[in-house]
Amino acid sequence: MLGIDIVKNARIESALSRFGVHFLNKVYTTSEINLYKNNTQFLCGRFASKEACIKACFMAFSIKSYLKDFEILKAQNGMPILNILNQEIKDIFLKNHLKAFVSISHEKEYTVAVCYITKEEVIC
Ligand SMILES: CC(C)(COP(=O)(O)OP(=O)(O)OC[C@H]1O[C@@H](n2cnc3c(N)ncnc32)[C@H](O)[C@@H]1OP(=O)(O)O)[C@@H](O)C(=O)NCCC(=O)NCCS
């Protein structure tokens, strides 16, 4: 199952400049905020990824989820690491041996992200 989202970078920049820390706290987890280091591109990628995860989970399980149900950190090699924080979704993943991944790409004006849900066996 796939979910996709595209973000206009200016929208995130505008929300950040208008609402500052309130915007950050509404959308991002503490770990994401700690990784952001004034890099708005990082926030755009996380926003698009969270929306993509929400779509993928709704399509796969008909569950409504929210931006802070998903946390996207960064591996040492730059690869995004998705943590699912919603217990109901976590349980479904565990029970059905599912894994989810996100992939992000940036351009000057837009950022896209996809979320891919698959069975664990397919990956190994
Ligand atoms: C991944 C890579 C193709 C990015 O391509 P790009 O066209 O320059 O940039 P894009 O905007 O399309 O992609 C950037 C996103 O790719 C993702 N990315 C970075 N490194 C990645 C990796 N190793 N695997 C998967 N995704 C990666 C990140 O999510 C990044 O966005 P973010 O910084 O907001 O999280 C490029 O960085 C690459 O080839 N990296 C090789 C990985 C590597 O060995 N890096 C050495 C550092 S240890």
Residue pLDDT, tens place only, 97-108 = 999 999 999 999
Which of 12, 47, 103, 106 gets mutated to test ligand 1 (max ligand atoms within 8 A of its CB)?
106
Q: Tell the residue nearest (CA) to atom 30 of ligand 1.
A: 104
| Confidence band of 121 (pLDDT split at 50, 70, 90) | confident
Q: What pLDDT band is residue 124 in, cutting at 50, 70 and 90?
A: low
Q: Is the CB of 41 under 6 A from ligand 1?
A: yes
Tell the residue nearest (CA) to atom 34 of ligand 1. Answer: 42
Ligand 1 neighbour 6 (Cβ under 6 A): no
Mean pLDDT, the chain, whole residue set? 96
Contact partners, residue 112, CB within 8 Å, separation at least 6: 4, 5, 6, 7, 48, 104, 105
State the average pLDDT over residues 53-57.
98
Residue listed under structure tokens 């990082």: 42
Residue 71 CB: number of other CB atoms within 10 A? 21
Q: What is the pLDDT of residues 62-94, one digit of tens each?
A: 999 999 999 999 999 999 999 999 999 999 999
Domain 2-123 indexed as CATH 3.90.470.20 = yes
Query: Do 83 and 71 contact (CB within 8 A), yes or no?
Result: yes
Spatial separation of the C-alpha atoms in residues 110 and 6, rounded to whole Å: 7
For the chain, the first-to-last Cα distance in angstroms comes to: 18
Q: Is 78 within 8 Å of 18 (Cβ atoms)?
A: no
pTM: predicted TM-score of the whole model, two decimal places: 0.93
User: Is the separation of the CB atoms in 100 and 83 below 8 Å?
Assistant: no
At 66 the three-state DSSP class reads coil
**Average pLDDT value for residue range 11-32:** 98
* Residues forming beta bridges with residue 103, ordered by sequence position: 114
Q: How far is the CA of 63 from the centre of ligand 1 (A)?
A: 30
